[in-house]
Amino acid sequence: MNISFYETIKDLNWESIGESIYSKTSLDVERALNASRITIEDFKALISPAASKYLEPMASMSRDITQKRFGKVMQFYVPLYLSNECTNHCIYCGFNHNNDIERITQTDDEILSEIKVIKSMNMDNVLLLTGEHPSNAGIEYIEHAVELCRPYFSTINLEVYPMSIEEYKRLFKAGVNSVYVYQETYREEVYKHYHPKGMKSNYLHRLETPERLAKAGAHRIGFGALIGLEDWRVEMVYMAMHLRFMTKNYWRSKYAVAFPRMRPAEGGFQPNVIMTDKEFAQTIWAYRLFDNDIDISMTTRESMEMRNHFVTLGISSMSAGSKTDPGGYSKPNHELEQFHTNDNRNEVEMEAMVRSQGYDVVYKDWDKILN
């Protein structure tokens, strides 16, 4: 029986890891940049303040690795929000149960209307999202939504609440390719503060979701931490440990990471920690050097300038023309958004931008087909 990821981190001390990161020197960074395989200690150096003087070589290495692994290609995907109903009380989220917003769970006809608009955008890679409301948007609802989407999209991905192994098996059988679940924060002692009520308040259940996904046979598993709650450098080290644990113990699945920086949302929560654009870049490059094979995505949370700049610098997928409200493509209502987007270009404008930098655009996920 495999030991769980929680068992490997439960005795670690958050502050001690932070001290280890902030004590890294230029020598540690140079050693990491010359390593044949980057260890967690090397990763700490790459994510540390000491690495800020080495961003240019990190960017160059990241570009070379990404082009070698993925080619000069950017994969596009589009999110489709099915429901904003939620029983959780996450204090930073626009879907918080306490927020006084209109709640919508889309009907079949409404989902098909969204699909019609998305297909007119040439998209073939869709990410289905819900809040956490098992009675109104539970496994049966999500499974049915996947079946509705299956005739129209070559790749169907999910970002929904954590489920059991058997439930995930049902969804994979229905046609799901990838599932993304974000830990939000790896800092266990404050997790309950940010998630005071609802199923999401169970730290361990959420932390072990990638393991249940792998046991259920997931093709790709995505995870990450929300940037803005706790010290992002420490979060990134825990996340790197999580990634290394998964790739070692569940190597049949592929992995994806994202680094969502907090954006304004209903409820007015302000980030506790700010990650600058330069630090965001450092994080992307550190992860690309840490694991050459992971898919790294950048959402419309980021600015137009940032997304333009990173086409050639380590990112392998981007959302385009995104709406973050249920019904947002056919009947947009900004008051229902989970968060406000930062880059509002449509897919035509995004494709022109990507091609202007000598890259091709892929609207579907070829990875599953080729494997």
DSSP string, 146-171: HHHHTTT-SEEEEE-----HHHHHHH
109's CB contacts (< 8 A; 6+ apart) are none
Q: How many whole angstroms separate alpha carbon 176 and alpha carbon 333? A: 28
Q: How many whole angstroms separate alpha carbon 149 and alpha carbon 270? A: 36
The strand ranges marked E within 92-247 are 125-129, 155-159, 178-184, 220-225
Determine the topology of domain 5-370 in CATH: TIM Barrel (3.20.20)
pTM above 0.85, yes or no: yes
Task: Write out the H or E segment, with its range, that includes residue 270.
Answer: none
Tokens 């999401």, located at residue:
200
234, 243, 320: which is closest to 275 by C-alpha? 234
The domain segmentation of the chain, as residue ranges, is 5-370
Indicate the residue type of 41: E
DSSP 34: T
Calculate the alpha carbon distances from 6 to 150, 181, 198 in Å. 35, 16, 21
301's CB contacts (< 8 A; 6+ apart) are 260, 261, 263, 339, 341, 342
Query: Tens digit of pLDDT per residue, the chain (371 long)?
Result: 579 999 999 999 999 999 999 999 999 999 999 999 999 999 999 999 999 999 999 999 999 999 999 999 999 999 999 988 887 788 887 776 777 777 889 999 999 999 999 999 999 999 999 988 888 889 999 999 999 999 999 999 999 999 999 999 999 999 999 999 999 999 999 999 999 988 889 999 999 999 999 999 999 999 999 999 999 999 999 999 999 999 999 999 999 999 988 865 545 778 889 999 999 999 999 999 999 999 999 988 888 999 999 999 999 999 998 888 888 888 876 555 555 667 889 999 999 999 999 999 998 765 554 44
Q: How many whole angstroms separate alpha carbon 154 and alpha carbon 352? A: 23
Q: How many whole angstroms separate alpha carbon 232 and alpha carbon 185? A: 9
Could you tell me the two tokens for 70? 């993925």
